């Protein structure tokens, strides 16, 4: 056995042992698709169902096109590599891949579309290589993903693409940053309207340090609403790109 | 085979026979009858009978106020009216376009169905989706129910039916087009869903809580003797108005303060509900809905343009 294989083994053994010894616990929501998503989203990596990852949504979707979702992984502050969220029974399940890097707390608020009643998941990868999965259920009359756009009914909507409304709200030891970006977030499921959505966003500090990175998917509602909790003072820049290559830049004082 | 058929029948027949609204009109004033619904949510157990409908037996015929949540309800209402009077139904007024108030229209197809122009427009736009949602929530009770649009435009003013002068008011706090009806002979005020009493108010089409508060003041200033809310018990004292004012003001301030504080929508729906509203049914459920309907407007009011294009 070459030293290289030995070295590889040595690297993998702790994780493998980890995986074997971890009991994921009982799935808190009735799901027919967990095994599929475990493979699809988490690559069959070790995980636990963990109620310290709080995934908060209303019990039912009053407006299936704008469902508020709050992902709270502050219990793992300083340990979080990334947060993945998805809606299991959506035709386009993926919501967001959020990487809070520096000064940004592992907390995110976002609004999404859902097509029918579904389990929702937020999986938090911590530095030890383990996924912590928070879950909730939402009821819905449905149709949020296939409903025609509201934005597109407003005359002159094209002129407003990329406009950002925002504000900072001070808290005790951090500040809340909220933004709303004018964008139709077309998911390609409405007849004759191709995919056109914001797929990337970054938060940067005044001195251009990367604070957080987000990949967004078309399950995110039109005119996306996002909120972050950030420690420390100073202006924050938000850089957004859509899949047509448009780039938008905003500065929240 | 026959045996199986019998089994199936014996199971399904009683289930069908159960879908009976058994509406019992209650006289609340001279010539005036109320069909009071529960203050629950739409459910398969109640067939959507969560609404107050009414009729006035005038010398010139019967005036009906709202037709209920389904064809079956409309038909049951028609029967209930016939059990009280031989007089023909001469007029239907719809207070607004929400499904629990208008989906009984099919049973009144032979009568002028009057509504504000805005109500007809809203029912035209939203009626099918509203009816579809009712099928989802109420199930078999809805069978055969279809949207029937009003065929008469009502304008504010006084209309006479026999010995009753009926004052019609065009307001809008609940849906943008809300008809309130004051019977000037009896002083009974049919407030429609501008007034909910002991049942949390609903906001899916409200143009804003300030508009609604102004409507409450208008209604309270009328020479009424008895208030018939759209949902909840009738009242001879102004308590329903006071509860509405209290609740609307609380909701407005809650949303205002939340937006000013940058509170997220998912956090807003978990806001504590004051103890004094404990007697109001469905307040948590309706808070969740109202945050979805109204909060985005409050939020935008507290944010400014921050994109670089705006700065140029």
Q: How confident is the model at residue A145 (pLDDT cuts 50, 70, 90)?
A: confident
Beta strands B26-29 and A67-72 are unpaired
Can you tell me the mean pLDDT for A57-83? 96
Q: What 3 state SS string does B71-85 have?
A: HHHHHHHHHHHHHHC
Q: How far apart are the first and last CA of chain B?
A: 81
Contact criterion met (CB below 8 Å) for A220 and A111: yes
Structural contact between residues B250 and B214, judged by C-beta atoms closer than 8 angstroms: no
pLDDT in tens, A217-237: 999 999 999 999 999 888 999
| CA-based nearest distance A46→chain B, Å | 30
Main-chain dihedrals φ then ψ at residue B12, nearest 5 degrees: -85, -30
User: Residue A1 pLDDT more than 60?
Assistant: no
Instruction: Using an 8 Å CB-CB cutoff, list chain B residues near A252.
Output: 306
Q: Which of B306, B308, B309 should we substitute to test contact with A (largest number of A Cβ atoms within 10 Å)?
A: B306
pLDDT for position B14 = 45
CB within 8 Å of A215: residues ≥ 6 apart:
A96, A97, A199, A200
Task: Count Cβ atoms below 10 Å from residue B254 Cβ, excluding itself.
Answer: 21
A63 Cα to chain B: minimum distance (Å): 7
- Please name the residues in contact with A41: beta carbons below 8 A apart, sequence gap of 6 or more: A84, A86, A94, A121, A123
Of residues B264, B288, B306, nearest to A251 (C-beta) = B306
Please check the confidence at residue A143 and state whether its pLDDT lies above 80.
no
Indicate the SS3 state at residue A74: helix
Q: Is B133 on the interface with A (CB under 8 A)?
A: yes
Structural domain count of chain A: 1
CA gap A24, B234 in Å, rounded: 55
- CA quadruple A182, A186, A191, A194: dihedral positive or negative? positive
| Cα dihedral B179/B184/B190/B195 (nearest 10) | 90
Among B138, B256, B265, pick the best mutation site for testing chain A contact (most A Cβ within 10 A). Answer: B265
For chain B, say whether A122 makes contact (Cβ under 8 Å): no
Name every residue whose Cβ is closer than 8 Å to that of residue A210 and which is 6 or more positions away in sequence: A101, A102, A202, A203, A204
- Decide if A109 touches B, using CB distance below 8 A: yes
CB pairs under 8 A between A and B: 86
Across the beta sheet with B152-153, what order do the strands follow?
B26-29, B32-35, B53-58, B61-65, B89-93, B113-115, B152-153
> A235, A212, A232, A216: which is closest to A224 by C-alpha?
A216
Instruction: Let me know: does A119 contact A29? Beta carbons within 8 Å.
Output: yes
- Is A113 among the domain residues? yes
> Minimal Cα distance from B261: which residue of A?
A169
pLDDT of residue B40: 87
pLDDT at residue B72 in the model: 96
Per-residue pLDDT tens listing for chain B (312 residues): 566 555 555 544 445 557 889 899 999 999 999 999 998 888 988 999 999 999 999 999 999 999 999 999 999 999 999 999 999 999 999 999 999 999 999 999 999 999 999 999 999 999 999 999 899 899 999 999 999 999 999 999 999 999 999 999 999 999 999 999 999 999 999 999 999 999 999 999 999 999 999 999 999 999 999 999 999 999 999 999 999 999 999 999 999 999 999 999 999 999 999 999 999 999 999 999 999 999 999 999 999 999 988 765
What does the alpha-carbon distance between residue B140 and residue B16 come to, in Å, rounded to a whole number?
A: 9
Question: Quick one: how many helices (H) and strands (E) in chain B?
Answer: 9, 13
- Give the pLDDT score at A82: 97
Q: What is the per-residue pLDDT for B17?
A: 55
Residue A148 lies inside a defined structural domain of this protein: yes
Say if A234 falls within a structural domain.
Answer: yes
CATH of the domain at A242: 2.60.40.2470
> Under an 8 A CB cutoff, do A164 and B293 touch?
no
Region A6-27: mean pLDDT is: 65
Q: What is the rounded distance in angstroms from the CA atom of residue B198 to the CA atom of residue B280?
A: 4
Interface of B with A in 57-96 (CB under 8 A): none
Could you give all domains of chain B from N- to C-terminal order, each with its CATH number? 26-236 (3.60.15.10)
| Residue of B264, B269, B305 with shortest CB distance to A163 | B305
A14, part of any domain: no
> Which residue segment(s) compose the domain that A232 sits in?
48-252
Beta strands in B59-134 (DSSP E): 61-65, 89-93, 113-115
* Chain B residues whose beta carbon lies within 8 Å of the beta carbon of residue A58: 266, 269, 288, 292
- Six-digit token string for A80: 């979080």
A217: in domain: yes
DSSP A219-248: TBPSS-EEEEEE-S-S-EEEEEEETTS-EE
Of all residues in chain B, the one with the smallest CA distance to A223 is B296
- Residue for token pair 């921050």: B306
Q: Which of B136, B289, B305 minimises the CB distance to A62?
A: B289
ipTM here: 0.87
Q: Percent of chain A scored above 70 by pLDDT?
A: 92
Cβ distance of B292 and A63 shorter than 8 Å:
yes
Residue A41 counted as domain residue:
no
Does residue A33 lie in a domain region? Answer: no
Residue A199 resides in a domain = yes
Cβ of residue B306 closer than 8 Å to a chain A Cβ? yes
């Amino acid at each position: 056995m070459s030293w290289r294989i030995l070295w590889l083994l040595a690297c993998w053994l702790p994780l493998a042992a980890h995986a074997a010894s971890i009991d994921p616990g009982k799935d808190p929501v009735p799901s027919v698709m967990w095994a599929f998503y475990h493979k699809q989203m988490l690559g069959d990596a070790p995980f636990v169902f963990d109620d310290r990852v709080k995934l908060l949504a209303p019990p039912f979707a009053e407006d299936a096109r704008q469902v508020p979702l709050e992902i709270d992984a502050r219990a793992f502050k300083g340990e979080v590599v990334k947060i993945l969220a998805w809606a299991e029974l959506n035709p386009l399940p993926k919501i967001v891949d959020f990487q809070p890097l520096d000064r940004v707390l592992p907390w995110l608020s976002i609004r999404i579309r859902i097509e029918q009643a579904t389990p929702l998941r937020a999986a938090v990868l911590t530095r030890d290589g383990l996924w912590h999965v928070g879950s909730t259920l939402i009821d819905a009359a449905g149709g949020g993903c296939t409903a025609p756009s509201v934005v597109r009914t407003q005359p002159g909507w094209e002129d407003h693409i990329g406009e950002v409304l925002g504000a900072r709200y001070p808290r005790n030891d951090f500040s809340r940053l909220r933004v709303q970006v004018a964008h139709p977030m077309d998911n390609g499921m409405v007849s004759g309207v191709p995919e056109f959505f914001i797929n990337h966003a970054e938060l940067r500090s005044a001195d251009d340090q990367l604070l957080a990175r987000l990949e967004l998917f078309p399950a995110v509602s039109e005119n996306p609403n996002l909120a972050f909790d950030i420690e420390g003072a100073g202006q924050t820049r938000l850089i957004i790109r859509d899949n047509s290559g448009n780039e938008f830049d905003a500065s929240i004082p | 085979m026959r045996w199986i058929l019998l089994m199936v029948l014996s199971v399904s027949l009683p289930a069908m026979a159960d879908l009976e609204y058994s509406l019992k009109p209650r006289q609340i004033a001279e010539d005036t009858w109320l069909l009071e619904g529960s203050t629950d949510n739409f459910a398969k157990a109640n067939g959507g009978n969560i609404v107050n409908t009414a009729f006035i037996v005038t010398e010139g015929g019967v005036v009906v106020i709202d037709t209920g949540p389904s064809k079956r309800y409309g038909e049951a209402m028609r029967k209930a009216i016939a059990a009280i009077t031989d007089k023909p139904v001469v007029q239907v007024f719809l207070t607004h376009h929400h499904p629990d108030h208008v989906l009984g229209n099919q049973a009144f197809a032979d009568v002028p169905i009057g509504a504000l122009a805005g109500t007809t427009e809203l029912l035209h736009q939203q009626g099918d989706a509203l009816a579809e949602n009712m099928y989802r929530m109420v199930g078999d009770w809805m069978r055969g129910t279809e949207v029937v649009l009003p065929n008469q435009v009502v304008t504010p003013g006084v209309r006479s039916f026999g010995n009753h002068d009926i004052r019609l008011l065009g307001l809008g706090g609940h849906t943008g087009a809300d008809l309130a009806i004051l019977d000037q002979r009896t002083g009974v005020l049919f407030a429609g869903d501008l007034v909910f009493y002991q049942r949390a108010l609903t906001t899916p089409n409200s143009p804003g809580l300030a508009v609604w508060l102004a409507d409450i003041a208008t209604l309270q200033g009328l020479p009424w003797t008895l208030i018939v809310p759209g949902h909840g018990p009738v009242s001879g004292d102004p308590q329903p108005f006071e509860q509405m004012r209290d609740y609307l003001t609380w909701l407005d301030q809650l949303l205002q303060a939340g937006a000013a504080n940058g509170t997220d929508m998912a956090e807003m729906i978990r806001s504590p509900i004051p103890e004094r509203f404990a007697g109001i049914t469905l307040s948590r459920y309706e808070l969740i809905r109202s945050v979805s309907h109204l909060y985005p407007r409050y939020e935008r009011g507290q944010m400014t343009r921050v994109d670089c294009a705006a700065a140029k």
